[in-house]
Amino acid sequence: MGGIRGFGRLDDGRAVNAHAIGDPAQLSAEILDLGGILARLRVRGADGPVDVVLGLGDARAYGGDPAFLGQLIGRYGNRIAGATFELAGRRHALDANEGRNHLHGGAHGFGHRPWRVEAHSGEALVLSLRSPAGEGGYPGALDVRATYRVEGDVLSLVFAARCDAATPFNPTHHPYFNLAGDRTVPAAAQWLQVPASHYLPVDGELIPFGEVAPVAGTPFDFRIARGLAIAAPHPQLEAGGGLDHCLVLDPGRGFTAALYSPHSGLAMRIDSDAPGLQLYGGQGLARQHPGLGDGICLEPQDYPDAPNRPAFPPAILAPGRDYRRSIRYRFARPGRDRGWDEVAHALRLDRPGLGSPSGVPA
């Protein structure tokens, strides 16, 4: 594949290109050199290609996108309270772009920046970005490389980075998934499993209290696959306006998350070395992009506000250290793909009540 097409221009006149990788007959992606945005991801379904991520039509539509659709996120994914933190005895002030708080790297976040194309082939796209010292308030110059690769039915994303001074660093990825392939199908119609026995409760600004709470008896318990629709009220759902919480992944887990659509029969398994998974139900999309449709975000990452929470695992990149984080998305159709067992063991699709797409036994 490996093609390039113009994707329009931003309001300031900058041209944006879409870079294709993968095999249209199996799994293919289009990634923008703006924000490293995953603008399209098509998976082979029972009746042809299925679009499984939400995307916009041209570059201008992505300019200043408040939903962070498909973006590479950094320097720090999620929120930092008060847009400030202390490191080595020095207080640093960051861009405040969500009220008084810092979200997804602020105004200088990676997802709003042009990335340099280092290499592009039919299977892979390598992007790079330099974030100078002081950008957005962060200490240290940071060099980041993001590599997208398609191999068979797997899309992988690997972040690599180095800095010259200690800095908070928590990159993640922000696609909105709807495996139904039909944007009118509610995202909550999908089934999800996450091996997380705890989560981080948040306040009304979606900042963690610092408590690591058990998921048992809460709407955040996805240890056994279930639908995303929430019937019972919960104070934490009111705080987040729905699902918008970091799930604390269990040590020794076999995977990060698994998602399944009874409508298409498609399933996805996510594997990552990150300690947490932000689950966002996409409840802001109807306001931010009317008519776009429904999708959910599953964002492997470090804990939100970790630079201000000594009890949380640190998310500080030391100078001279080689950073690496990987995220792997594997897609399969039950009963049809050799790789299906890797997804099905998590979702337990033989369990009664999960739902049965056409041609797939329940």
Percent of the chain with pLDDT over 70: 92
* pLDDT, position 311: 96
8 A C-beta contact, residue 243 and residue 279: yes
Residue 348 has pLDDT above 80, yes or no: no
- What pLDDT digit, counting tens, does each position of 179-230 carry? 999 888 999 999 999 999 999 999 999 999 999 999 999 999 999 999 998 8
State the sign of the Cα–Cα–Cα–Cα dihedral 10, 132, 128, 110.
Answer: negative
pLDDT classification of 344: cutoffs 50, 70, 90: low
* pLDDT, position 239: 85
Q: How far, in Å, CA of 354 to CA of 225, rounded?
A: 8
pLDDT classification of 80: cutoffs 50, 70, 90: very high
8 A C-beta contact, residue 124 and residue 21: yes
160 backbone φψ class: left, alpha, beta (φ>0; ψ -120 to 50): beta
Residue 353 has pLDDT above 60, yes or no: no
* pLDDT, position 48: 85
Q: Which is more confidently placed, 23 or 48?
A: 23
Alpha-carbon distances, residue 130 vs 107, 157, 183 (angstroms): 15, 18, 35
* pLDDT, position 352: 37
What average pLDDT score do residues 324-336 get?
87
Residue 159 has pLDDT above 80, yes or no: yes
Q: How far, in Å, CA of 172 to CA of 75, rounded?
A: 9
What average pLDDT score do residues 74-95 get?
97
- pTM, to two decimals: 0.93
- The string of DSSP codes covering 17-61 is EEEEEEETTTEEEEEESBTT-EEEEEEEETTEEEE-B---SSHHH
* pLDDT, position 230: 83
**Tokens representing residue 269 in the block:** 């398994």
CA atoms lying within 13 Å on the CB side of residue 202: 27
User: Which single residue is written with the structure tokens 């020095």?
Assistant: 90
pLDDT classification of 358: cutoffs 50, 70, 90: very low
- What pLDDT digit, counting tens, does each position of 44-65 carry? 988 889 999 999 999 999 998 9
Dihedral pair phi/psi, residue 152, rounded to 5°: 65, -115
- Which residues partner with 331 through β-bridges? 268
Residue 288 has pLDDT above 90, yes or no: yes
Task: For residue 355, count CB atoms less than 10 angstroms from its CB and return exposed for 0-12, middle for 13-18, buried for 19 or more.
Answer: middle
In the sheet that holds 38-45, the strands lie side by side as: 4-9, 15-23, 27-32, 38-45, 48-51
Residue 350 has pLDDT above 50, yes or no: no
**Tokens representing residue 126 in the block:** 């390598």
* pLDDT, position 334: 67
* pLDDT, position 47: 81
pLDDT classification of 354: cutoffs 50, 70, 90: very low
Q: How far, in Å, CA of 102 to CA of 265, rounded?
A: 38
CA-derived radius of gyration, the chain: 19
Count how many residues are written for the chain. Answer: 362
pLDDT classification of 357: cutoffs 50, 70, 90: very low
Tell me which residues are annotated as active site.
Answer: 174, 299
Secondary structure of residue 199 in the 3-state scheme: strand
What average pLDDT score do residues 322-332 get?
97
